[in-house]
Amino acid sequence: MTFLWIGLGLLVLLMIVYFFQVRWEVKDDVLEVKHLFSRVTIPLNEIIKVEESEYFAGPGDATVIGIPGRINDRIVLTTKSEKYLLALNGYGKFVRDLERANSDIQFNV
């Protein structure tokens, strides 16, 4: 019976780790960012600048995607109409994916 509870606990832990991560995908001409049960789609031609956040919880006018207190890699993605703070693991891969998809974006990371 104890093994069943340990196995169930590990399964729940793995589910939490997977769902709490910010995931992204560059498809066609859009960046799709997923976190928990939400999905944000940003056209690549709308993205102006990508930079590291010097703020713990991001600039005040940014939409926060992820849990910034849990992760040290925080990226501010500025579009023509909005700012997003992405708290994600592996921001290097994120930046490389965006560089490959659109070279007009200004990167300050």
pLDDT of 52-106, one tens digit each?
887 766 677 888 888 776 667 888 899 999 999 888 887 888 888 888 887 778 8
pLDDT at 82: 93
- The CA distance from 45 to 30, in Å, is 8
What does the domain layout of the chain look like in residue ranges?
2-108
pLDDT of 34-57, one tens digit each?
988 889 999 999 999 998 887 766
Alpha helices per DSSP H over the chain? 2-20, 91-101
Domain at 2-108, CATH class: mainly beta
- Whether the pLDDT of residue 20 is over 90: the answer is no
Q: Which residue has the higher pLDDT, 107 or 33?
A: 33
pLDDT at 47: 92
